[in-house]
A and B are shown apart, each in its own frame.
Chain A
Amino acid sequence: MAVEHDLETMEIPVNMGPQHPSTHGVFRMVLKVDGERVVELVPHIGYLHRGAEKLCENMDYRQGIGIHDRTEYLAPFHAELALVIAVEKLMGLEVPERAEQIRIIMAELNRITSHMMFVGAFSADAGVFGTAFTYAFREREYIQDIFEEVTGDRTMYGYFRPGGLAWDVPDDFVERVRAVLEHTRQGIDDIDNLLTKNEVFMARTRGIGAMSAEEAIDWGLSGPMLRACGVRHDLRKAQPYCIYDRFDFDVPVGQYGDVYDRYLVRLEEMRQSVRIVEQALEGLRDGPIMPKKMRRRLRTPPGEIYQGVEAPRGEYGVYIVSDGTDKPYRMKIRSACFANLMGLRDMVVGHFVADAVVILGSIDMVLGEVDR
């Protein structure tokens, strides 16, 4: 467009966050806007940095579980899973069948609660006055009731242990989960009906924040962000951990890599999680939940391991360097959102201020995990 600019205009910097309703925690980004259009974006993180890696290096593995819960605080089961699998592989522990099944049930239910949180917060970013948010939280609470009945806590579970589980599930576990899954299906459908085909929602999310597969790989994105770009990569399929190779589920893949695809991918992942949980409930048999011979104090043999799990937001990985004592010599936490956030600038620049909020919402970041 050849428009003569006689008026002198100015790009104004706008500081968003750390106290802004849609920066989901304590994220801060400094936007430079030309009218409503974003021309530059500088993300600032670190407001929630608690030194989780350093703390883990000063604690034994069981104590570290509590720290891992508090990094990825929307999907703590996945964080625990990464840690305990890494320790088990270092020590060469065999995990009993029942423990594996329960771990998968818990992890997949946790994926549902985490994606529910995404849908709720994302729709609020897109401007729905809390309706989808309450729908999502309703379902989240039902599932968290189960978590509370099993682990005793609604958010910081501390339930997995190297070798198995801390304790067994209650007797009516299977019936309770089945009952809640009914609710969950209903909840997913409610959200689907409310948002997916809504023209206003589509207008806001289609073609926004698009990323090509090459760019996504270059930035190191993972999880739904990567799959929305058309890369069919899911650790549960590519490098199965636990016993995921025994389950029958699909990996939804997007086409355009835009915000709408990310939403669709996550919505479908919730349905697939329901499928996995149902299969795991079928296969749940009585049995031990810990290996027979467990030392009271876990000492990992010297060595190193990187273990990633497919957490709701992408690959949550743990890199442990062990020196033969009962604490890790070095514990690095590979956080999914940390990598996903790196691409934020490329996604946002050129869009409107309102889109910046939606794109940020679509990353579904957890600052506890980004800053650690």
Chain B
Amino acid sequence: MDHLDEFLENPWVNGILGLLAVLVLIILVVLALIYIERKFLARIQMRLGPMRTGPYGLLQSLADAIKLLAKEDLRPARADRWVFELAPYAVFVPGFLAFVAIPFTRNWAVSFLELGLFYVVAVTGLSFVGLLMAGWASDNKYALLGGMRAAAQLISYEIPLVLALVAVSMVAGTLNLREMVEAQGRVPLVVWQPLAFFIFMAAALSELERQPFDIPTAESEVVGGPYIEYSGIRWSMFFLTSYANLFLYSLLGAAVFLGGWDWFLGRDAGPWLQALWMAGKTTFLILVFMWARGTFPRLRIDQLMSLCWKVLLPLAFLQIFLSGLVLVHGWPDWALLLTSGAGLLAAAYIVWAAVRPRPLAVREAVASGSVA
């Protein structure tokens, strides 16, 4: 027994076992998420969703996975072979690496990094490379358009995402994710920093390429974008990644903004209860993302860029500035809420003002002599 304990204490063994556990967790969660998303969207649309594979269609994801694994792996004749084949891994690895630093409960994570938040942001920022590779290597104009869109979008939205997290970490006073959760106390940060939460959610939706920001993969325009030429297992890697990222950002949001495994009645919960709380908050965020997917149309690429650079970025700076002001002067917490809430209202106003009825680029002309 001593030998086994010693073996498990070895940091390499420990790390690899942790990574394996995380990998299994990701795959299980993704299978569940696909099922949940299909059912959830179906209910929004007053349908039933998958019903025929197993009871209530529960085995649908599994069946899909088996089908995808068994499918022929196609590669266009004129594709850039190595880039094309490596792209799915280039997309998957960053998302997977980020899970290393995510704490699931107070005592459970692969590694509690001192700069956890920084690490997560840095690693996920790499994922656009894979999409660009896929888009370029496919030898397809739609894929190229989609890859370019993906690169532009992911790089741009990285910035408001980071800045929103910076604003939060300023208040928490740390970059360690565990300490950030601990620092939130009974009232989660979303209450004090609604503007930062809004920016985080918008940027996360964009990083996830989900409606209303699913521009790189837009089905009705570029027909799947970078994924257009992929099939079988490589395509399922992309799919796996997109749902793993959904899980990742929801976990991050739950930890940073919603108070992680803490809840407002006490902090001495056992590990299972902690895991339950974390799962509950994560699920809530996931459902919000899915809800948005079922409701929104898609923005256009230039509007997406305007939203990022002209709205979210200045507001993120505003949030940082206001938080800094409050922190430097040592004003009470409600000042944080007040300033951030005002910023949120400003965001709402900007969005409203951007599309309110106005004759922009349209010629107001009634036919002379029409029977009006």
Q: Are B296 and A127 closer than 8 Å at their CB atoms?
A: yes
How many Å lie between the Cα of A182 and that of B62 in the bound state?
41
Contact A131 B45 (CB under 8 A): yes
10 pairs from A and B in contact (CB 8 Å cutoff): A14-B142, A36-B149, A124-B220, A199-B355, A207-B362, A214-B365, A231-B366, A232-B370, A256-B363, A352-B301
Complex contact B370–A354 (CB within 8 A): no
A301 to chain B, nearest CB (A): 33
Knowing A199-B351, A212-B365, the reply to whether A21 touches B46 (Cβ < 8 A) is: no
**A-binding segment of B114-122, B154-162, B211-219, B244-252:** B211-219
Q: Which residue of B145, B297, B368 contacts A201 across the interface (Cβ within 8 Å)?
A: B297
The 9 lowest CB-CB distance pairs between A and B, nearest first, are A127-B298, A213-B367, A256-B362, A134-B45, A22-B220, A210-B362, A202-B355, A207-B361, A230-B366
> Given the known A-B contacts A131-B295, A230-B370, are A207 and B360 also in contact in the complex, defined by CB atoms under 8 Å?
yes
Task: Give the contacting residue for B212; candidates A127, A230, A255; CB below 8 A.
Answer: A127
Q: Which residue of A lies closest to B45 (CB)?
A: A134
CB proximity of B33 to chain A, nearest CB, Å: 15
Q: Is A3 an interface residue (CB 8 A)?
A: no
Contact indicator per residue, chain B 343-367, by CB within 8 Å of chain A (1) or not (0): 0000000011011010111111111
Chain B residues lying within 8 Å of A138, measured Cβ to Cβ, are 46
Enumerate B280-304 residues with CB–CB distance to A below 8 Å.
Answer: 293-303
CB contacts (< 8 Å) of A217 on chain B: these are 367
**Are A354's CB and B45's CB within 8 A?**
no
Q: What's the nearest-Cβ distance from chain A to residue B216, in Å? A: 12
A80 at the interface (CB under 8 A from B): no
Contact A253-B372, Cβ < 8 Å, known A212-B365, A213-B366: yes
Q: Is the CB of A258 within 8 A of B362?
A: yes
Residues B41 and A357 in contact, CB atoms below 8 Å apart: no
Q: How far is the CA of A129 from the CA of B293 in the complex (A)?
A: 7
In the complex the two chains form, is B294's CB within 8 Å of A129's CB? yes
Report the nearest A residue to B371, measured CB to CB. Answer: A232
Any A CB within 8 A of the CB of B74: no
Chain A residues numbered 134-164 whose CB sits less than 8 Å from any CB in chain B = 134-135, 138
* Pairwise interchain contact B300-A210, C-beta atoms closer than 8 A: no
Which residues of chain A have C-beta atoms less than 8 A from B294's C-beta?
129, 131
Indicate if the CB atoms of B45 and A135 lie closer than 8 Å: yes
B352 touches A213 (CB 8 A): no
| Residue among A135, A255, A355 with the highest chain B CB neighbour number at 10 A | A255
A21 and B220 within 8 A (CB): yes
Chain B at the A interface: SS class? loop
- Interface assignment of B25: CB less than 8 Å from any CB of chain A: no
A123, A232, A352: which contacts B372 (Cβ < 8 A)?
A: A232
B81 located at the interface, meaning its Cβ lies under 8 Å from any Cβ of chain A in the complex: no
A213 and B365 contacting across the interface, CB-CB below 8 Å: yes
Q: Which of A130, A134, A135, A200 gathers the greatest number of chain B CB atoms within 10 Å?
A: A200
Q: Is the CB of A238 closer than 8 A to any CB of chain B? A: yes
Interface residues in B141-172 by Cβ distance below 8 A to A read 141-142, 145, 149
Give A124 to B359 CA distance when docked, in angstroms: 25
Show the binding face of A for B, using Cβ within 8 Å: 12, 14, 20-22, 33, 36, 123-131, 133-135, 138, 194-195, 198-204, 206-207, 210, 212-214, 216-217, 229-233, 238, 253, 255-258, 352-355, 357
Would you call B223 an interface residue if the criterion is a C-beta within 8 Å of the partner chain's C-beta atoms?
Answer: yes
Residue of B nearest to A208 (CB): B361
Which of A20, A129, A258, A353 has the most chain B CB atoms closer than 10 A to its own CB? A129
A217 vs B145: C-alpha distance when bound (angstroms): 35
Please state if B297 and A353 are interface contacts (CB–CB under 8 Å): no
Specify which chain B residues have a CB less than 8 angstroms from the CB of A206 in the assembled complex: 355, 357, 360, 362
Q: Is the CB of B223 within 8 A of A20?
A: yes
A residues in contact with B67, CB < 8 Å: none
User: Are A256 and B364 touching (Cβ within 8 A)?
Assistant: yes
B contacts, CB < 8 Å to A: 41, 44-47, 141-142, 145, 149, 211-212, 214-215, 218-223, 293-303, 351-352, 354-355, 357, 359-368, 370-372
Tell me which residues across on chain A come within 8 A of B351, comparing CB atoms: 199
B365 to chain A, nearest CB (A): 4
B243 to chain A, nearest CB (A): 15
Kindly state the separation between the CA atoms of A212 and B363 in the bound complex, as whole angstroms: 6
User: Residue on A with the closest CB to B351?
Assistant: A199
B362 touches A200 (CB 8 A): no
Given contacts A127-B212, A255-B364, contact A203 B303 (CB under 8 A): yes
How far, in whole Å, are A194 and B221 apart by their CA atoms in the complex? 22
**Contact call A14/B221, Cβ cutoff below 8 A:** no
A125–B221 Cα gap in the complex (Å)? Answer: 8
Cα–Cα distance between A126 and B365 once the two chains are bound (Å): 26
Whole-angstrom CA separation of A127 from B214 in the bound complex: 8
- Contact: A21 with B219, CB < 8 Å? yes
Contact of A355 among B46, B141, B300 (CB under 8 A): B300
Complex alpha-carbon distance, A238 and B355, angstroms = 35
Known: A21-B223, A123-B297, A233-B370. 8 other contacts (CB 8 A): A128-B211, A130-B41, A131-B294, A134-B47, A198-B296, A232-B372, A256-B363, A355-B300
| A353 in contact with B46 given A200-B297, A207-B361, A232-B371 (CB within 8 Å) | no
A40 to chain B, nearest CB (A): 15
Which B residues are in CB contact (< 8 Å) with A255? 364
B211, A129: Cβ atoms closer than 8 Å: yes
- Contact with B371, one of A124, A134, A198, A233 (Cβ below 8 angstroms): A233
Q: Is the CB of B359 within 8 A of A357?
A: no
The CA of A28 and the CA of B25, in the complex, are separated in Å by 45
A residues within 8 A CB of B363? Answer: 210, 212, 256-257
CA distance A213 to B177 in the complex (A): 60
A133 to B211 CA separation, bound complex (whole angstroms):
15
**B198 → chain A closest CB, angstroms:** 14
Q: Report Cα–Cα, A194/B363, bound state, in Å.
A: 27
